[in-house]
C-alpha cells in the first residue's frame, strides 16, 4: 500500500482504529483454577529479566459499505515500521500483519479489549467479537483473528452501535446505539449492569472513569449524563450553555489522584474543551481550541495530553494542564479524522480518516514537551537585545561607520 502525506493508505476509508495490547495478546496469563493457591502464586512471579516491549501494532477497520463500489470492507492489523531508521518519520508498515475481509458489513466502531480478549466490532446490524489466535510460529507477525460466533449474542442484532468501549481493566463493556439504546454489561459474563432505552437521541460517545465507578454518556442532544455503575443510578446531568452542542467525553486522572471529565463541544464557530469536577460535577474550565468542527478526541494514558482531530483533517495536541497547544498538524489528512489513539507510553498518536490513511505522529517524551527555564531566559534576553537594537540602530550604525 502507498504512503501519502506522512500516512499509510490501506485501500479503504478507515472508520475505527486502536493500538493493540500486544503484550497481553502474545503472552496471556494462564488460567487459574478456583482454590489453586500455588498456581495463583506462580502466575504472580515476575521473570528475572523482563522481556523487551513488543512493537507497536494497530487494528484498523472500515470499507466501502454495502453495494458494488469495489472498495472492500476489512479489518487490518499493521505494525509500526521501524525499518527506515530514526531519521525517517514514523509510519505504519505498508504490509499488514493480517487482513480480514468482513463481507458486506463495514466495521464502523471498534473496541479492543485491554487484556487481550479480542476485538469487538460494531457493524450496521449489530456487534461481533473476533478472538486472537496464533498461527504457526511465535511472535507478533503470526497473530490472527477468528470470529467468535457464540459471543455477544445480546448485541448480534442490536443495530448500529455508535459508541463501544471496554473499561480500563476490561471488566465492563458499554455500548450506545444509533437508536439511543444504552447497554452496560459485566465482561465476559455479559450480565446486565444497566440499560437505558431511548429512541429520541442517539448515543454519540461514552467513557469510563479509571476506577470503573462512573460512566459518562453524550447523546445527540441534551446534557452529558453521568452514571454511578455501582448503584446503576444517574449522579449528574451536566448542562450545556447557550449554543453548545456536546461531542466527545473522556475522564482523566490528575496528579493528586482526583479525576476530571473533559467534554468537547461546538459553540457557534468554535470547537471547545470543557472540564468538570468529578466530585461536585461543576464546570471548572472552558477553552476555545479551534474554528474547525471536532470529529475525534483522545486523552493520553499518562493523562498529560489531549488530542483533537477535525473535519478538515487537522490534529492539535494540547497540554491537559493548561490547554496550551504543543503539536499542530494542519491538513494531516485530506478528509475527516475518524479516530485518534495514543500509544501506551503516550509518545505516539495514531489518527485515521475517510481518506483511507492511517497516520502516526510522534509526540516526544514528557520532558521534551515543555520549554526549559534556561530556554525561556534565553528568549527573554534575545527579545531585550532586539528591542534595544530597534531603538538605537541609527546610533549603532553611525558608530560602526566611524
**Span 46-74, pLDDT tens digits:** 555 666 677 899 999 999 987 667 899 99
Residues 6 or more apart in contact with residue 82 via CB below 8 angstroms = 55
Q: What is the pLDDT of residue 34?
A: 41
Q: What is the pLDDT of residue 238?
A: 98
Mean of the pLDDT values across residues 89-109?
92
Cβ count near 308 (within 10 Å): 25
Distances 181 to 109, 129, 216, 233, 292 between C-alpha atoms, Å: 16, 20, 14, 16, 29
pLDDT top residue among 272 and 380: 272
Rounded distance between C-alpha atoms, residue 179 and residue 192, angstroms: 19
Half-sphere exposure of residue 90: CA atoms within 13 angstroms, side-chain side = 18
pLDDT top residue among 128 and 391: 128
Q: Residue 360: beta bridge partners?
A: 350
% of the chain surpassing 70 pLDDT: 80
Q: What is the pLDDT of residue 32?
A: 42
Work out the pLDDT band at 402, boundaries 50, 70, 90. very low
With a cut of 50, say whether residue 106 has pLDDT above it. yes
Given a contact cutoff of 8 angstroms between Cβ atoms, the answer to whether 167 and 117 are in contact is no
Mean of the pLDDT values across residues 119-131?
97
Mean of the pLDDT values across residues 20-28?
88
Work out the pLDDT band at 380, boundaries 50, 70, 90. low
With a cut of 90, say whether residue 273 has pLDDT above it. yes
Work out the pLDDT band at 253, boundaries 50, 70, 90. very high
pTM: 0.84
Look at 55-69, 214-228, 357-371 and tell me which has the smallest mean pLDDT: 357-371
Work out the pLDDT band at 138, boundaries 50, 70, 90. low
Given a contact cutoff of 8 angstroms between Cβ atoms, the answer to whether 272 and 289 are in contact is yes
Mean of the pLDDT values across residues 125-140?
83
52: helix, strand or coil: coil
Given a contact cutoff of 8 angstroms between Cβ atoms, the answer to whether 262 and 308 are in contact is no
Task: Place domain 3-373 in its CATH homologous superfamily.
Answer: YVTN repeat-like/Quinoprotein amine dehydrogenase (2.130.10.10)
Q: Exposed, middle or buried, 383 (CB in 10 Å: 0-12/13-18/19+)?
A: exposed
Cβ count near 31 (within 10 Å): 8
With a cut of 90, say whether residue 206 has pLDDT above it. yes
Q: What is the pLDDT of residue 33?
A: 46
Distances 103 to 64, 69, 355 between C-alpha atoms, Å: 11, 13, 21
pLDDT top residue among 307 and 136: 307
% of the chain surpassing 90 pLDDT: 71
pLDDT top residue among 20 and 391: 20
pLDDT top residue among 87 and 105: 105
Q: What is the pLDDT of residue 390?
A: 64
Work out the pLDDT band at 76, boundaries 50, 70, 90. very high
With a cut of 50, say whether residue 368 has pLDDT above it. no
Given a contact cutoff of 8 angstroms between Cβ atoms, the answer to whether 110 and 119 are in contact is yes
pLDDT top residue among 47 and 115: 115
Sketch the domain layout of the chain as residue ranges.
3-373, 374-402
With a cut of 70, say whether residue 107 has pLDDT above it. yes
pLDDT per residue as tens digits for the range 331-356: 999 999 999 999 999 999 999 999 99
Amino acid at each position: 500500500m502507498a504512503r501519502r502525506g506522512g500516512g499509510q493508505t490501506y485501500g479503504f476509508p478507515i472508520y475505527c482504529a486502536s493500538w493493540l495490547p500486544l503484550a497481553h495478546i502474545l503472552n496471556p496469563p494462564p488460567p487459574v483454577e478456583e482454590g489453586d493457591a500455588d498456581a495463583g502464586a506462580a502466575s504472580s512471579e515476575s521473570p528475572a529479566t523482563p522481556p523487551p516491549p513488543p512493537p507497536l501494532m494497530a487494528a484498523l477497520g472500515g470499507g466501502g459499505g454495502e453495494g458494488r463500489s469495489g472498495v472492500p470492507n476489512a479489518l487490518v492489523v499493521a505494525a509500526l515500521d521501524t525499518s527506515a531508521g530514526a531519521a525517517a518519520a514514523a509510519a505504519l508498515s505498508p504490509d499488514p500483519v493480517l487482513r480480514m475481509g468482513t463481507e458486506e458489513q463495514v466495521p464502523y466502531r471498534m473496541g479492543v479489549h485491554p487484556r487481550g480478549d479480542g476485538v469487538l466490532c460494531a457493524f450496521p446490524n449489530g456487534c461481533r467479537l473476533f478472538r486472537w489466535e496464533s498461527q504457526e510460529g511465535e511472535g507478533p507477525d503470526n497473530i490472527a483473528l477468528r470470529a467468535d460466533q457464540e459471543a455477544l449474542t445480546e448485541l448480534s442484532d442490536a443495530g448500529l452501535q455508535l459508541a463501544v468501549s471496554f473499561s480500563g481493566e476490561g471488566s465492563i463493556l458499554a455500548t450506545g446505539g444509533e437508536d439511543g439504546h444504552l447497554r452496560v454489561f459485566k465482561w465476559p459474563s455479559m450480565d446486565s449492569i444497566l440499560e437505558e432505552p431511548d429512541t429520541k437521541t442517539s448515543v454519540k460517545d461514552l467513557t469510563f472513569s479509571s476506577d470503573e465507578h462512573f460512566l459518562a454518556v453524550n447523546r445527540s442532544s441534551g446534557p452529558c449524563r453521568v452514571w454511578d455503575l455501582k448503584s446503576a443510578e444517574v449522579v449528574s446531568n451536566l448542562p450545556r450553555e447557550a449554543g453548545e452542542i456536546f461531542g466527545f467525553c473522556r475522564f482523566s486522572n490528575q496528579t493528586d489522584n482526583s479525576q476530571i471529565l473533559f467534554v468537547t463541544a461546538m459553540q457557534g464557530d468554535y470547537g471547545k474543551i470543557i472540564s468538570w469536577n468529578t466530585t461536585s460535577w461543576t464546570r471548572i474550565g472552558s477553552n476555545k481550541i479551534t474554528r474547525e468542527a471536532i470529529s475525534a478526541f483522545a486523552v493520553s494514558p499518562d493523562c498529560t495530553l489531549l488530542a483533537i482531530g477535525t473535519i478538515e483533517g487537522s490534529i492539535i495536541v494540547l497540554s491537559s494542564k493548561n490547554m496550551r497547544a504543543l503539536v499542530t498538524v494542519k491538513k494531516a489528512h485530506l478528509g475527516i479524522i475518524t479516530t485518534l489513539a495514543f500509544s501506551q507510553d503516550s509518545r505516539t498518536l495514531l489518527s485515521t480518516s475517510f481518506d483511507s490513511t492511517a497516520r502516526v505522529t510522534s509526540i516526544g517524551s514528557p520532558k521534551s514537551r515543555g520549554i526549559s527555564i534556561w530556554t525561556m531566559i534565553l528568549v527573554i534576553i534575545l527579545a531585550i537585545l532586539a528591542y534595544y537594537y530597534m531603538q538605537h540602530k541609527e546610533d549603532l550604525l553611525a558608530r560602526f561607520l566611524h
